[in-house]
Amino acid sequence: MTIRAVVVDDDKETLHLFCDLLTSHKIKIVGKGYNGQEAIFLYQKLKPDVIFLDDSMPVYSGIDALQKIKELNPNAIVFMIVEKMKLNTELTLNRLHPSAVFHEPIDIDEIIQKTHLLCLPAKDELENMQKTMITLSLKNTLLELGNDELEKVIMMLHKDYNISLDDCYDNPDALKQVLQTLFGESYDDILNSIKESLKEISTKQYAKNFIDDLNS
């Protein structure tokens, strides 16, 4: 999963350097801005996974932008970069609850770790999402053959392997054997239908691996 970020800082040299650091850690920069008003516009337009804001900028500060973005989306992931933490700044940040506050000079490893923690789904959640996508594609493909055919596959999976359709993500060999047994020479047609159903996620490695297992 690619993390999409917007970075906003009125110091262009600092902005570009910071963007280069993020990019080197495989975080995609989808937008750059130089004041708080641009930050709000870019957030609304691009809907990034995370936005990095310098706290002190002309025209419209990063803190002003933080407040507006939180009004637009209370769950927005907003990281504040602060050079000097003044008392009123600290009080305001405590009230607005940014996702994290980093002090200059920044620790890029800390920033990357926090970005991954908040922007990437946990491993279990990611695997469940992948499993759900595969299961839905299988079910849709088999339903095109008819409810009776779907039931035959489900029954045979349970009878011969003691698994359900949901378990086929982790047991592609069992699914392959069941489909080949039930459909014989039509197996290749069914495999092509599964590939078509998975077309939207066909570039994902987990989908490629699943198809490769059924195709081997």
Indicate if 45 and 143 belong to the same structural domain: no
Output the pLDDT for position 128: 80
Indicate if 108 and 144 belong to the same structural domain: no
CATH number at residue 144: 1.10.1200.200
CATH number at residue 39: 3.40.50.2300
Task: Please answer whether residues 34 and 8 qualify as being in contact, where contact means their C-beta atoms are separated by less than 8 angstroms.
Answer: yes
pLDDT one-digit tens code per residue, 1-22: 789 999 999 999 999 999 999 9
pLDDT one-digit tens code per residue, 176-208: 999 999 999 889 988 888 888 888 776 778 888
Indicate if 133 and 115 belong to the same structural domain: no
pLDDT one-digit tens code per residue, 53-93: 999 888 789 999 999 999 999 999 999 999 877 777 788 88
Task: Please answer whether residues 15 and 32 qualify as being in contact, where contact means their C-beta atoms are separated by less than 8 angstroms.
Answer: yes
- Of the pLDDT bands very low, low, confident and very high (cuts 50, 70, 90), residue 98 is very high
* C-alpha angle 37-121-19 in degrees, rounded to nearest 5: 40
Output the pLDDT for position 122: 65
pTM (predicted TM-score)? 0.61
Question: Taking all residues of the chain, what is their mean pLDDT, rounded to a whole number?
Answer: 90
Helix axes of 172-183 and 147-156: crossing angle, nearest 10 degrees:
130
Q: Which of 68, 95, 119 is the last residue of a domain?
A: 119
Instruction: Report in angstroms the alpha-carbon separations of 187 from 58, 147, 176, 183.
Output: 65, 17, 9, 6
Domain that holds residue 200: 123-215
